[in-house]
């Protein structure tokens, strides 16, 4: 049995494991979950993932993994995306945690309520400035960090790049001005030039 990835179209979180799968050449079946109609919270899906969120992976031996960065890490192990050096591995985790605490919680809702479901934008108008401010702070930290570097950690492309890229490359759709972060822009181009790269819509059919 192949791995099975539950995903949502348009989701930066779902994109991360999908890109790892593509770039490491692993087979996987993809199962779309329509979060916009509440499918991720219905009784059937809650039996699969009680957290009610995607992405969610059922491994080839039938076990489940939630959280995009945990799934991406699992799928990337044993490849050059997760090098053996213990310090490098810890630094990769450091940036994956940064992504989940400083970027994703701000970029994702700003994008969701302005680009994916703009009809709900007004209901979230009071929260938007906070997301933009905190997300911009995260992007500023990332820009300064990336200025002298080619990739996030060490001297090559790792799963940290995939995790951080997941929502960073979608930030303009949330109202962030990526032109303010030139080192981020150059790094995103390097990620897009890595072998096997494919964009979100190609990897996550709607």
Write phi, then psi, for 28 (nearest 5 degrees): -165, 145
Contacts (CB under 6 A) with ligand GSH, residues 41-70: 41, 52-55, 67-69
The answer to whether 168 contacts ligand GSH (rule: CB under 6 A) is no
Among 8-16, 87-95, 135-143, 152-160, the segment contacting ligand GSH (CB under 6 A) = 8-16
Among 7-15, 79-87, 122-130, 142-150, the segment contacting ligand GSH (CB under 6 A) = 7-15
Of 37 and 193, nearer to ligand GSH (C-beta) is 37
List, in sequence order, every residue forming a beta bridge with 58; answer none if it has no partner.
4, 64
Kindly determine how many residues on this chain lie close enough to bind ligand GSH according to the rule CB under 6 A: 14
Of 30 and 183, nearer to ligand GSH (C-beta) is 30
Q: Are 168 and 139 in contact (CB under 8 A)?
A: yes
Please give the sequence-ordered ranges of beta strands (E in DSSP) within the chain, or none if there are none. 3-7, 28-32, 56-58, 64-66
Closest contact distance (angstroms) between CB of 39 and ligand GSH is 8
In angstroms, the CA 146 to CA 134 distance is 18
Cα 7 to Cα 31, 39, 94, 205: the distances in Å are 6, 11, 25, 9
Q: Are 58 and 72 in contact (CB under 8 A)?
A: no
Among 5-13, 73-81, 136-144, 192-200, the segment contacting ligand GSH (CB under 6 A) = 5-13
Of 101 and 182, nearer to ligand GSH (C-beta) is 101
Binding mask 91-130 for ligand GSH (x = CB under 6 A): ---------x------------------------------
Closest contact distance (angstroms) between CB of 99 and ligand GSH is 8
Length of the chain in residues, anyone? 206
Of 97 and 202, nearer to ligand GSH (C-beta) is 97
Nearest to 19 by CA among 157, 159, 116, 152: 159
Of 68 and 158, nearer to ligand GSH (C-beta) is 68
Nearest to 80 by CA among 28, 27, 20, 29: 20
Nearest to 17 by CA among 29, 9, 5, 8: 5
Q: Residues 35, 48, 58, 96: which binds ligand GSH (CB under 6 A)?
A: 35
What is the three-class DSSP state of 175?
coil
Residues that bind ligand GSH (CB under 6 A): 8, 11, 13, 35, 40-41, 52-55, 67-69, 100
């Amino acid at each position: 049995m192949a791995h099975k990835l539950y995903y949502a179209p348009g989701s930066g979180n779902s994109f991360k494991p999908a890109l790892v799968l593509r770039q490491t050449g692993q087979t996987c079946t993809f199962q779309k979950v329509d979060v916009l109609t509440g499918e991720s919270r219905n009784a059937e899906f809650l039996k699969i993932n009680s957290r009610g969120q995607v992405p969610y992976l059922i491994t080839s031996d039938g076990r489940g993994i939630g959280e995009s960065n945990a799934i991406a890490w699992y799928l990337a192990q044993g490849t050059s995306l997760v090098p053996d050096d213990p310090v490098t591995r810890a630094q990769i985790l450091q940036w994956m945690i940064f992504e989940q605490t400083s970027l994703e919680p701000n970029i994702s809702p700003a994008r969701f309520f302005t680009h994916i479901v703009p009809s709900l934008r007004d209901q979230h108008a009071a929260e938007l400035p906070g997301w933009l401010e905190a997300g911009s702070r995260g992007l500023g930290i990332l820009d300064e960090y990336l200025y002298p570097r080619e990739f996030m950690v060490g001297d090559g492309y790792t799963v940290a790049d995939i995790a951080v890229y997941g929502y960073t490359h979608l930030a303009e759709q949330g109202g962030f001005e990526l032109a303010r972060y030139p080192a981020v822009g150059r790094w995103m181009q390097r990620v897009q030039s890595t072998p096997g790269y494919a964009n979100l819509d190609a990897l996550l059919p709607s």
